[in-house]
Amino acid sequence: MDNFKQYLEEGRDAPLFHGTSIRNAAKILKMNTMTAQTRHKQFPPAMDTPKNVISLTRSFKFAKRWYNHVHYRGVIFELDQRKLAQRHKIMVYNHFGLGDYGGKGVAREKNDVRANGFPINQYEENIIGDIKNLDKFLIKIHVTTEFLSYKYFDEELLKHPLLWNIDTKKWVNK
């Protein structure tokens, strides 16, 4: 008979994505650490105290929408979910679900895409705490051609060997 853990691990082959600003991406790469900064009030429901988490998504499309909406010019980190699961507890989380707190601390009564500007399902996965030694989990750093022409960013980020141009679908530095 198969055990439950086997089924959980079989689903860890897909990558996870994290969209962020150019400034944050440069900081993350310099520190080689993704810092938990999102605070979920009821996460997981069994915990009494809020925890700082790193919000990731299984949807590249959502990560792209996030950085375009929030950061305008940003990057998307693509992480190896299987390797992350070996070191960190990854937990599914529905940020815009019923009972969750909106930006103003009020529980949402409905999942209205028009009200919050994002898809109802973010395909969100959370990690409690920081991801240290990020380079061990990093698959790609997705950027656009527009990003590559942007002059106000860190040289280290531009020279990173894992930069992937979304528009041309080619490695930038290989």
**Mean pLDDT across the chain, nearest whole number?**
75
Sign for the pseudo-dihedral over CA of 81, 72, 111, 109: positive
Q: Is the pTM higher than 0.85?
A: no
Q: What is the extent of the structural domain holding 31? A: 16-171
Rounded to whole angstroms, how far apart are CA atoms 9 and 81?
A: 10
Cα within 13 Å of Cα(104), Cβ side: 3
Inside any domain, residue 3:
no
What's the pLDDT tens digit per position in 100-147? 434 443 444 444 444 455 555 567 788 888 999 999 999 999 998 888
Domain count, the chain: 1
Inside any domain, residue 11:
no
Inside any domain, residue 21:
yes
